[in-house]
Homo-oligomer: A and B are copies of this chain.
Amino acid sequence: MPRPLVLNEDRLFPLEPSARALARELYGTVARLPIISPHGHTDPAWFALNKSFGNAAELLLQPDHYLTRMLYSQGVPLEALGVKGAAADPREAWRIFAQHYHLFRGTPSRMWMDWVLSEVFGIAMRLDAETADAAYDRITDALATPECAPRALFERFNIEVLATTESPLDSLEHHAAIRQSGWQGRVITAYRPDPVVDPEFEGFATNLALLAELTGEDCGSWHGYLAAHRQRRAFFKGMGATSTDHGHPTAQTADLSGHEAESLFDRVKGGHASSQDAELFRAQMLTEMARMSVEDGLVMQLHPGSYRNHNADLFARFGRDVGADIPLRTDYVHALKPLLDRFGNAPGFSLILFTLDESTYARELAPLAGHYPCLKLGPAWWFHDSPEGMRRFRRMVTETAGFYNTVGFNDDTRAFLSIPARHDVARRVDCGFLAELVMEHRLEEDEAFELAQDLAYDLAKKAYRL
């Protein structure tokens, strides 16, 4: 028998009544603030072309690796879900998802999806085998209406600014089209150079050739290669970018002499680097990117510590991003030292650190960010972008780094419809955390109201120079 789908207005607030009451009050002051989304993976083509999204499965299920990984872990073949263009009837894929919806109990995916079903599509019954078809139809029908076109949703979601992430090889044509369209939505890019910085990235040598073609620089030479980066960074900045992003397996940095760096580049540029050279080159490039950030003012982001494509068989069959990336233990204290020795005290330089290794919050990241003027901490990331994950972040970071060495919330998602749900979770959890501090008399009430606004809006805007 279908059950009602209810989003309780007190969800995620502390249980103790006085803290809950204050959390509710704090949340009331930030619930409607515009969304600052300074880091994510939505597709700028959506906003450039403003074409309707297809159907429920295509929009909400197939590209969401949080969902497909959990289903796969319980024996559902990715083919049956139509992942990565596998032939599958979308309605049938949606039914499988709905039948397995209980798997998501206690996960953030459940909270985000319930929000989307209820708030975007007005669905009143909990998703399950029985309600699957009705939900599918309601969503798919709604997607065909103008109210659910990408730009309309962007406006309805009250997004003030949304950053996408592009490779230096991207023409940014969609960003250009958005700007030329006259539409007022602020969609900006971010510079993510992994494909031309990581010698182990698929097609690295080809990517260098494309970079050379795109820039007219000689990307067979270290100096030409750096010049190409400078040129693309400037181009990205022109398309609104205020930040770069770096998705390395480790946080390792290096500070080689010009001669050493040149010789290293010569060894890796052909695409046949040893793993040591590849790691060293990525390390050196973080320091080069820092140098360029000091020059051009782009805020640098480092997202290290993911073992990409851990499932070899799935990678061979489906390629990247099917939910088989697994976090790694990550060191920051030694790894960042070369870069920090060079630029750690450089005026205006800003480096936002993320982690998938929570043991570094209190041990390494908060002490580093609580000292170096250039360092700030990004919010709880990826697997930790969840109520418990956010609480651990605040509890382990705040006492050493304070609030003002953090940067507010990132949704970091390609699941466009979940963006408001994710920001809502973060705002609720943060207001709950602040309320508990007040009720424990570790913070005054007026400060909590100021901080609620800072965490929901101001810090992100300031940290990303938006």
**Distance from A55 Cβ to chain B, minimum over Cβ atoms (Å):** 26
Q: How far is the CA of A402 from the CA of B384 in the complex (A)?
A: 13
Choice from B8, B13, B362, B405 contacting A383 with Cβ under 8 Å: B362
Contacts of A325 in B (CB 8 A): 367
Contacts of A157 in B (CB 8 A): none
Tell whether A310 is near chain B: CB-to-CB under 8 Å: yes
Contacts of A18 in B (CB 8 A): 15
- Shortest Cβ distance from A345 into B: residue: B313
Tell whether A46 is near chain B: CB-to-CB under 8 Å: no
Whether A363 contacts B357 in the complex (CB less than 8 A), given A15-B14, A331-B329, comes out as yes
Say yes or no: A373 contacts B74, CB within 8 Å. Answer: yes
Q: How far is the CA of A337 from the CA of B310 in the complex (A)?
A: 8
Whether A333 contacts B337 in the complex (CB less than 8 A), given A15-B439, A399-B107, comes out as no
Most chain B Cβ neighbours within 10 Å, of A3, A307, A373, A440: A440
- Shortest Cβ distance from A305 into B: residue: B363
Q: How far is the CA of A70 from the CA of B404 in the complex (A)?
A: 10
Chain A 329-358 near chain B by CB (<8 Å), digits 1 or 0: 101011001001100110000000000111
Tell whether A388 is near chain B: CB-to-CB under 8 Å: yes
Choice from B72, B367, B451 contacting A327 with Cβ under 8 Å: B367
**Distance from A337 Cβ to chain B, minimum over Cβ atoms (Å):** 7
How many monomers of this protein are in the complex?
3
Contacts of A103 in B (CB 8 A): 402, 404
Q: How far is the CA of A7 from the CA of B440 in the complex (A)?
A: 11
Choice from B372, B387, B403 contacting A399 with Cβ under 8 Å: B387
Say yes or no: B373 contacts A73, CB within 8 Å. Answer: yes
- Shortest Cβ distance from A5 into B: residue: B444
Q: How far is the CA of A328 from the CA of B337 in the complex (A)?
A: 13
Choice from B106, B307, B334 contacting A398 with Cβ under 8 Å: B106
Say yes or no: A106 contacts B437, CB within 8 Å. Answer: yes
Q: How far is the CA of A399 from the CA of B14 in the complex (A)?
A: 18
**Distance from A412 Cβ to chain B, minimum over Cβ atoms (Å):** 15
- Shortest Cβ distance from A366 into B: residue: B383
Contacts of A437 in B (CB 8 A): 106
**A-B pairs with lowest CB-CB distance, top 4:** A11-B441, A8-B441, A15-B16, A386-B399
Extra contacts besides A311-B344, A313-B345, A383-B399 (14): CB < 8 Å: A6-B444, A11-B441, A70-B402, A73-B401, A74-B404, A103-B402, A105-B402, A106-B399, A310-B333, A326-B371, A329-B363, A356-B363, A383-B400, A388-B399
CB-defined A-B contacts under 8 Å, sample of 27: A8-B441, A11-B441, A14-B15, A69-B371, A70-B370, A72-B371, A73-B373, A73-B375, A102-B404, A102-B450, A105-B403, A105-B443, A105-B447, A105-B451, A106-B443, A107-B402, A307-B333, A310-B340, A311-B371, A313-B344, A323-B371, A327-B363, A328-B364, A358-B363, A387-B399, A388-B396, A388-B398
